[in-house]
Structure 1
């Protein structure tokens, strides 16, 4: 199986299944979450079978989807699934903030240093920007779910956060070019 197709399928398949069940059942989260959890677990198993490992991001995401989705179903309260993006983004921001104290360098450098050669100051700035970005996304998610309809939040979660992240990433190109080390 083509590796990029497999990645696309395992990344977006559970999401497509969620949308199918959500919109096919009168926009009901309680109906859409169990298939999302099952599809996420299947996607992680497929990745394991083909790759013999599961990357940290999909694994953490899968655990959190299962945990918060399970709480949403058990307590019949959507607040648990609403706060999942907030918690994930705060976890990422805190990892970027505290990571340098454990590794003596920005976490982003530790993760991406081999693929993007930047000066130390470049890594510091990039790390801080992403930390603030994740805190900002957490606050934005809190604002949206607390002030908008469930359907608006569901659509924002997918069609809003992804483009915001892509646009933010694009704005980092100037910084990367400025602090890039020529090898």
Structure 2
């Protein structure tokens, strides 16, 4: 459930974009009605409307996501705050300038923030964040925790680069599909590979 909750803004972004593609005139009308005050200039082409509308919905969904947690008096993960800040800044720039370049950079910046957090915590705070998140579920030798931390760091760096490659070498609809299904598939594949790697150590512990 937490995984789906974290993906909530991305799923809405995908759904609204796909709806806007199929209803360009309606999407253009909604953008003109609700977003014109946040944009430089006035006229919005029908081809721009789906990404602008999807970006606005993703921003609102991210705010609602954290608002829900705060209202329930639940802890808000630091990375959720980081994600909110990035979507507000880059999504806001996309809407204001009517330029999808900014929202295309958003996943990459987020991945690289994740990677940077792992490296900075390890080097300067002597804290392995992967261990903090997983040590209640599995007991591993100290060197293995270090390898896992490095593996996740490399994964996030590569995911950021892959996002840029898809975003700026393919049509925007392909990038939107990749943003949800491609990244989710790669994440699952990486987690499965990690589980296979860890199974050896779990057997040894037993």
TM-score by length of 1: 0.86
Question: Which stretch of structure 1 is more off in the superposition, 102-111 or 137-146?
Answer: 102-111
Distance 1:140 1:157 in 2: 10
Aligned partner of 2:138 in structure 1 is 116
Q: Does the 8 Å CA contact 1:121/1:179 hold for their aligned counterparts?
A: no
> Does the alignment pair 1:68 with 2:63?
no
Aligned partner of 1:138 in structure 2 is 160
Runs of 4+ displaced beyond 6 Å: none
In the TM superposition, 1:1-183 aligns within 5 A as 4=1, 7=2, 10-26=5-21, 28-180=50-202, 182=205
Q: Does the 8 Å CA contact 1:68/1:81 hold for their aligned counterparts?
A: yes
Distance change in 2, residues 1:21/1:133 (3 Å)? same
Distance 1:177 1:73 in 2: 46
Q: Does the 8 Å CA contact 1:122/1:175 hold for their aligned counterparts?
A: no
Q: Does the 8 Å CA contact 1:99/1:107 hold for their aligned counterparts?
A: yes
Q: Does the 8 Å CA contact 2:14/2:180 hold for their aligned counterparts?
A: no
Question: Which stretch of structure 1 is more off in the superposition, 138-147 or 28-37?
Answer: 28-37
- Is the radius of gyration larger for structure 1 or structure 2? 2
Distance 1:56 1:105 in 2: 15
Distance change in 2, residues 1:48/1:79 (3 Å)? same
Q: Does the 8 Å CA contact 1:10/1:44 hold for their aligned counterparts?
A: no
How far does the alpha carbon of each residue in 1:109-134 deviate from its partner, in whole angstroms, 9 at most, with x for none? 23332332111011011111111111
CA RMSD of aligned residues (A): 2.1
Question: Which stretch of structure 1 is more off in the superposition, 30-39 or 140-149?
Answer: 30-39
SS in 2 for 1:171: helix
Offset of residue 105 of structure 1: 4.2
Offset of residue 9 of structure 1: 6.5
Offset of residue 49 of structure 1: 1.4
Q: Number of paired residues? A: 178
Q: Which runs of 5+ in 1 are unaligned?
A: none
Offset of residue 70 of structure 1: 0.6
How far does the alpha carbon of each residue in 1:2-58 deviate from its partner, in whole angstroms, 9 at most, with x for none? xx4xx4664344334323321222272112211221122112111221243212232
